[in-house]
């Protein structure tokens, strides 16, 4: 059900070796310092995604198209599309006027 028994044994032995190596690294002071720095950076990184609330406005689809265009002809079509999609948003209209 979990695959071949030899493969399961190999994964189990690899995990055992990984844990043993990590424990050996923690025998020195430098190992503890690096573990603390790694743990703190992991917690900060996770806090950015899970604790912070998303209070920002979503970027309009037309503006994303405008930023992705590289060919001038497609850029003009994206500008026209953006002008028709978002008419009542002043910051987007100002940005569109600056780009044209």
First to last CA, the chain: 62
The token duo for 2 is 């979990």
Domain ranges, residue 92: 61-99
What is the rounded distance in angstroms from the CA atom of residue 14 to the CA atom of residue 55? 44
pLDDT in tens, 70-79: 555 656 666 6
Residue 56 lies in a domain: no
In order, the DSSP letters of 9-42 are HHHHHHHHHHHHHHHHHTTSHHHHHHHHHHHHHH
Mean pLDDT, the chain, whole residue set: 76
What is the rounded distance in angstroms from the CA atom of residue 97 to the CA atom of residue 100? 5
Q: Which is higher by pLDDT, 54 or 36?
A: 36
Q: Are 70 and 54 in contact (CB under 8 A)?
A: no
What is the rounded distance in angstroms from the CA atom of residue 30 to the CA atom of residue 25? 8
Residue 13 lies in a domain: yes
Place of tokens 């604790």: 51
What is the average per-residue pLDDT within 36-42? 94
User: What is the number of domains present in the chain?
Assistant: 2
Residues 46 and 78 in one domain: no
Residue 55 lies in a domain: no
């Amino acid at each position: 059900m979990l695959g071949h028994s030899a493969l399961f044994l190999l994964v189990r032995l690899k995990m055992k070796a990984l844990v043993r190596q990590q424990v050996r690294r923690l025998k020195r002071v430098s190992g503890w310092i690096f573990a603390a720095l790694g743990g703190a950076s992991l917690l900060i990184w996770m806090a950015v995604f899970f604790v912070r609330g998303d209070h920002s406005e979503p970027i309009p689809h037309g503006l994303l198209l405008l930023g992705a265009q590289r060919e001038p002809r497609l850029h003009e079509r994206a500008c026209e599309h953006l002008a028709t999609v978002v008419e009542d948003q002043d910051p987007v209209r100002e940005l569109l006027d600056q780009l044209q």
